[in-house]
């Protein structure tokens, strides 16, 4: 029983901190919209989660010019995989 | 004799695409050039992300803001500044940037604001 | 799988409505079902019929409209959100003596019961805000 | 002193439009002049004529309308913001063949030049977002 | 025989008045009670500010959210939780709070979410 | 020559930090809307500015039930004083 969390604001919000305070170790995190800055080495003050699986949305990365700065811990996925993640995890919690 | 020019300073603090604020700030600055005023443009905080190379808004059905920033030069806005502390916090340097900008410290920014007649902060 | 989508934000001002549209199209492309689209708060502006997109930009409202009609989706705008934001059905506009309606005929106005009902009848509800 | 007020946000969704209204009323009460109200981005929804306030809440749009008319204020909504958000003058709605207009007659649609002009002609411009 | 109840958990994370999100969350939870489902309500992060005593929305022309929260009890929502870490970070304790809430740790919250069929996070 | 800065989001934004990075020592700061949480002892992680004059808007404080928790360094003012501050300072910068 795992949850997919989507995070759609960047590091200048406190969204990731809120999410991590109640996410479980085997949950997955998907960063979308301005959330993709979290997945870039060009992000300020972002503390990368230790345990969870980390995904980041390709379309949002390309829009923002982040394609060459994505951190290794993140898997870059497209919308089809976004949909698949929603079906794979029993629950989806959206953080916005 | 013409009226003395007033100095406008636009501070663009938001990342592109997630919200429309970056675009609003640019459009307002371009409008100011029509009035033949002195116009400064400053990228600060998350606004420095607007300057990244290789943006392509098309992938999310949006116009590419990075390309639109080239209008600053076309419209004669030459004094384009970037907050160097904001760059540093994001591991960015001038090689990452799409257009030519003048790096400024917070103190220089404070002085620029002091000299400005109008400050639009978005 | 059966999905419902909840949209809390207006087009243009933030990216969320655009993301929701892209996600919904992908869902359908992948063979999933959409039980309901529910537009809440500023999301109701996605169903406005009066908008005019800039010439070089897409109309998000027109794209929702097409998606809903082509796939015969159930699309609901929250009544309390819609009335105070000026998104009105023909009946409501006439009842209030206002100058015109502003809700596309692909969506209907209803209450928050439809929001809860969407959760109960879907395998997943994905929210965009 | 001469003030102008810029409003970037829609009523209800955030508090800012309400703060701007309260501030503008106080300005006038204290004997200051308002050169212009400028509604930008989601702020254009403050000038919508189609909204129906809940019975136990005030209509912010109606309050702006009254303030503008009583004090003969110049009130401008940004044209590019307004069209894509469905806030249309009578002429624009007719030109597009749409079902009705949605802009109150107390405001007029114009370009960003009016935004810059407001700065040049005011002692202070206060923004609410 | 009736269908088994499903469990809804609403997490309200925003301060009142500045945005409409706190109100949206409350209205949705009240709507859920009509369906005779199990409803949990959680105040977390800035959402704990909704619980402060002596609110008076009238001073800014708004309805008082604190008073509206009393509807949770009236509508039969008994399991009202508050994130104790969020309270502590804001120097708040139960004496500051308008309605009766059950303090929970982050781990207890994670477990509550695990047990829930639907989580609405606003 | 001094500037009035208005701050209209709470401590979970980074608005005050941005403002302070370019505000001058003799500027004034006015906290409105959710910004008034900065002026309360019930705010998380807020670092109170050292130098500037600090004001906080009474109407927003009363709405939120903060009237008994305002820190000493802040002067509570009403809308009339808000207007007066705008006239007193040569420049107003709004942070939102």
pLDDT tens, residue by residue, C58-88 = 899 999 999 999 999 999 999 999 999 999 9
Q: CB–CB of E110 and A24 under 8 A?
A: yes
Question: In degrees to the nearest 10, what's the CA dihedral of A5, A10, A14, A18?
Answer: 10
**Residue D71 pLDDT grade (very low, low, confident, very high; cuts 50, 70, 90):** very high
Tokens of A94: 């959206």
Task: Residue B31: list chain D partners with CB under 8 A.
Answer: 111-113, 115-116
- Mean pLDDT confidence for D24-35: 98
Checking if the pLDDT of E8 tops 80, the result is yes
Q: Is the dihedral of CA B79, B80, B83, B87 positive or negative?
A: negative
Q: How confident is the model at residue B2 (pLDDT cuts 50, 70, 90)?
A: low
Question: Structural domain of residue A81, as residue ranges?
Answer: 3-95
Strands (E), B1-122: 7-12, 38-43, 79-83, 102-104, 118-121
Write out the two tokens for B108: 């220089």
Selecting from B20, B32, B118 the residue whose C-beta is nearest the C-beta of D125 gives B118
Chain A residues within 8 A (CB-CB) of chain B?
8-10, 12, 33-34, 37, 41-45, 58-60, 62-68
Distance CA E51, CA E65 (A): 9
CB contact under 8 A, E114 and A22: no
Backbone angles phi, psi at C87, to 5 degrees: -105, 100
Q: Complex ipTM, two decimals?
A: 0.96
pLDDT at D99 (0 to 100): 76
Rounded to a whole number of angstroms, the distance from the CA of C102 to the nearest CA of chain A is 28
Q: What's the pLDDT band for F1 if we cut at 50, 70, 90?
A: confident
Measured between beta carbons, the chain A residues lying within 8 angstroms of E45 are: 14, 18
Q: Which residues of D are catalytic?
A: 78
Confidence at residue E2, expressed as pLDDT on a 0 to 100 scale: 59
Mean pLDDT, chain E, whole residue set: 95
> Is residue C3 a contact partner of residue C35, using CB atoms and an 8 Å limit?
yes
Closest residue to B17, CB basis, from C15, C22, C58? C15
- pLDDT at residue number C85: 96
Q: Give yes or no for residue B37 having a pLDDT over 80.
A: yes
Give CA–CA dist E11/A93, Å, rounded: 10
| High-pLDDT (> 90) share of chain C, % | 87
What's the confidence (pLDDT) of residue F50?
A: 86
DSSP letters spanning C6-25:
EE-S-TTTBSHHHHHHHHHH
The answer to whether the Cβ–Cβ distance between C23 and A8 falls below 8 Å is no
Residues of chain E above pLDDT 90, percent: 95
Residues of C catalogued as catalytic? 78
C-alpha triplet B97, B102, B104: angle, nearest 5°:
110
**Looking at CA atoms only, how far is residue D50 from chain E in angstroms?**
20
Query: Does residue B1 surpass a pLDDT of 80?
Result: no
Chains F and C touch (3+ CB pairs under 8 A): no
Q: What pLDDT is recorded for position B23?
A: 97
In A, which residues are within 8 Å of C128 by CB distance?
A: 8, 94, 96
Confidence tier at B85 by pLDDT (50, 70, 90)? very high
Query: How far apart, in whole angstroms, are the C-alpha atoms of residue A23 and residue D22?
Result: 42
In tens digits, chain A (96 residues) has pLDDT values of 899 999 999 999 989 999 999 999 999 999 999 999 999 999 976 778 888 999 999 999 999 999 999 999 999 999 999 999 999 999 999 999
Owner of token pair 């136990």: D56
Average pLDDT over residues B72-95: 96
- Is the CB of residue C99 less than 8 Å away from at least one CB of chain D? yes
Task: Tell me which chain B residue has its CA closest to the CA of residue D129.
Answer: B122
- Residue F72's CATH number: 3.40.1260.10
Whether the full predicted model's pTM is greater than 0.90, yes or no, is yes
User: Burial letters for E73-86: b for 16+ Cβ neighbours within 10 Å, e otherwise?
Assistant: eebebeebbbbbbb
Amino acid B34: pLDDT: 94
pLDDT of D40: 98
Contact F22 B45 (CB under 8 A): no
Counting DSSP H helices and E strands in chain E, the numbers are 5, 5
Closest CA–CA distance from residue B93 to any residue of chain D (Å):
31
Determine the pLDDT at residue F48.
84
For testing contact with chain C, the best of B16, B19, B55 (most C CBs within 10 A)? B19
pLDDT higher than threshold 80 for residue F46: no
More confident: D98 or B98 = B98
Q: Which residues, including other chains, have CB under 8 Å from residue C48's CB and lie 6 or more apart?
A: C61, C87, C102, C103, C104, D85, D86
Q: Which of the four pLDDT bands, split at 50, 70 and 90, describes residue D50? A: very high
Q: Which C residues 81-100 touch A at CB under 8 Å?
A: none
Cα–Cα distance measured from residue E69 to residue E63, given in angstroms and rounded to the nearest whole number: 11
Between CA A81 and CA E105, with CA A17 as vertex, the angle to 5 degrees is 110
Structurally, chain A folds into a number of domains equal to 1
C-alpha distance from residue A63 to each of A37, B4, B42, B84, D23 (Å): 12, 41, 22, 24, 39
In angstroms, the separation between the Cα of residue B12 and the nearest Cα of chain D is 14
Q: Which fold has domain C2-50+59-128?
A: Hypothetical Protein Ychn; Chain: A, (3.40.1260)
Domains and CATH numbers, chain B: 7-121 (3.40.1260.10)
What average pLDDT score do residues D92-97 get? 88
Q: Which residues of A touch F (CB under 8 A)?
A: 12-14
Domain residue spans of chain D: 2-50+59-128
Residue E59: band (very low, low, confident or very high) from pLDDT cuts 50, 70, 90: very high
Q: How far is E110 from chain A (nearest CA, A)?
A: 5
Q: Measured between alpha carbons, how far is residue E2 from residues D108, E5, E37, F91 in Å?
A: 58, 9, 12, 66
Give the distance, in angstroms, between the CA of residue E14 and the centroid of all CA atoms in the same chain.
10
Please report residues of B whose CB lies closer than 8 A to that of F93: 113, 119, 121
Q: Which of D12, D15, D56 minimises the CB distance to E60?
A: D15
pLDDT at B3: 66
User: Residue A12 and residue F12: Cβ atoms within 8 Å?
Assistant: no
Element (H, E) at F85: helix F79-88
Q: What pLDDT does residue A71 have?
A: 95
């Amino acid at each position: 029983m795992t949850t997919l969390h989507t995070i759609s604001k960047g590091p200048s919000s406190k969204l990731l901190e809120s999410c991590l305070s109640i996410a479980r170790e085997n949950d997955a995190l998907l960063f979308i919209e301005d959330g993709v800055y979290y997945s870039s080495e060009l992000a300020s003050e972002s503390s990368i989660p230790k345990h969870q699986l980390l995904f980041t949305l390709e379309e949002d990365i390309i829009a923002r010019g982040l394609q060459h700065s994505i951190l290794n811990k993140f898997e870059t996925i497209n919308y089809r995989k976004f949909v698949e993640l929603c079906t794979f995890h029993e629950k989806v919690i959206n953080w916005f | 004799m013409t009226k003395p020019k007033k100095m406008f300073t636009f501070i663009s603090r938001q990342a592109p695409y997630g919200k429309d604020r970056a675009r609003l700030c640019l459009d307002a600055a371009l409008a100011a050039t029509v009035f033949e005023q002195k116009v400064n443009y400053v990228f600060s905080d998350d606004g420095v992300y607007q300057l990244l190379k290789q943006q392509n808004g098309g992938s999310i059905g949006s116009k590419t803001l990075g390309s639109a920033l080239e209008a600053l030069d076309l419209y004669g806005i030459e004094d384009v500044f970037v907050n160097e502390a904001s760059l540093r916090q994001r591991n960015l340097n001038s090689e990452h940037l799409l257009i030519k900008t003048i790096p400024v410290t917070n103190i220089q920014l404070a002085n620029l604001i002091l000299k400005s007649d109008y400050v639009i902060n978005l | 799988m059966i999905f419902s989508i909840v949209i809390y934000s207006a087009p243009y001002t933030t990216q969320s409505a655009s993301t929701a549209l892209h996600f919904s199209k992908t869902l359908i492309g992948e063979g999933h079902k959409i039980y309901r689209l529910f537009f809440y708060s500023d999301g109701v502006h996605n169903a406005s019929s009066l908008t005019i997109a800039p010439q070089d930009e897409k109309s998000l409202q027109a794209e929702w409209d097409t998606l809903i009609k082509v796939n015969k989706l159930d699309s609901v705008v929250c009544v309390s959100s819609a009335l105070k934001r000026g998104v009105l059905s023909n009946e409501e506009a006439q009842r209030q003596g206002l100058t015109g309606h502003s809700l596309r005929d692909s969506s209907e106005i209803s209450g928050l019961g439809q929001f809860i009902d969407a959760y109960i009848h879907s395998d997943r509800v994905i929210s965009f805000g």
